[in-house]
Structure 1
Amino acid sequence: MSEKEIIELQLVERIKKDDESAFIEVYHLFWERLFNFGYKKLSKKEIVEGIVQEVFIDFWSKRGKLEIHTSLSSYLFTAVNYRIINQYKSQSIRDKYSEKEKSKGEQTSLSVEEKVLYNDLKSNIKKVVGGFPPQRQKVYKLRFNKGLSYIEIAQNLEISVSTVEKHLMRALKDIRISLRELTLSSCIIFGIDHFLNY
């Protein structure tokens, strides 16, 4: 085992024990590399940035159950690659849906049922976000309404990047729970990004 792998293993063990400083160290160590890797594949800055952030959120939220059988590098790069593949798939579905709607010409782009579902989802998310504590609400809106990066949000609100991560992790978790109460099919039809910046 190389010295690099030993250091990574030690960082993972510290993260498993809720060591935020180890998580921030991993974040700074890998963020740019993961972003560059994703950007070469997807060439969409905001989407890739979101994918990398989601990987880190997922990584931190699952820290107590982490089982990394390869290296930390492989684990994180594989996670980003997997989400990029899913992005391709969901984008393909949305593109096909969009083309189908365009081919209808002046006909209504969404059926009555789809419109109701769409409005229900947006209303539901707006309600969930409205119930967030003030600080979490600010973080959420700066991320999804203004499109600011985690670092920009941290600087704007004078809080740590780790705090931004925690707020968004909890916000997205609450929204996912809320969405499960409706239907997942809408996320396939419209794409979840349509609703996050309600």
Structure 2
Amino acid sequence: MELSDLELILLWQRGENKAFEVIYKRYATRLLGIAMQKTGDRELSEEIIQDVFMCMYKQKNTVSQLSSVMAYLYVLLKNRILDAYRHQLVQRKYEDHLAYTATEVDYSTISTIETRDLEKQLCIEIEKLPPQCRTVFKLSRQQYLPNKEIAALLKISENTVEQHMRKALRLLRGSLLDYEKSLAILLFLHLRK
């Protein structure tokens, strides 16, 4: 003869743990089916069912006042599923935030690397300038001397200083333009992979 839910609960409250196992076996499969329909995730559904029965187990002393064990378990299930949805929503928001933040960091990191590479390339190209042109450029752009002081220091006219600067800038612009094109091609090829 099969015992009713109320009889099982009373036995369980008196210390008969087998009675709780019977209640578990009676409702776990049905609840799992409901949870699977709602979540679409078997592993999550199984965790939720375990949580539902753990909650019932912790409320051992108050469950005898229930009119329907299935209704009670269903309410617990519904609340746990809603908790799982909320948790997933928070997790998605966090992942979206991380993705957005990571993208910002990636762009700033790429920008920093590109700037460093460009500075290195500029130094290389400066060293390739003709000697007098290089000297004038370094005095002007690295030591910030005015043309008049550069002319006096190198014993050349200000006009010659200006000519060397124009030549240096033209040569550097040309070589860095080639570098930028190469960099753009490499970046394009990298992004296509």
Greater Rg over alpha carbons, structure? 2
Structure number with higher helix proportion? 2
Q: RCO (CA 8 Å, sep 6+): is it higher in 1 or 2?
A: 1
TM-score (norm 2): 0.50
TM-score (norm 1): 0.49
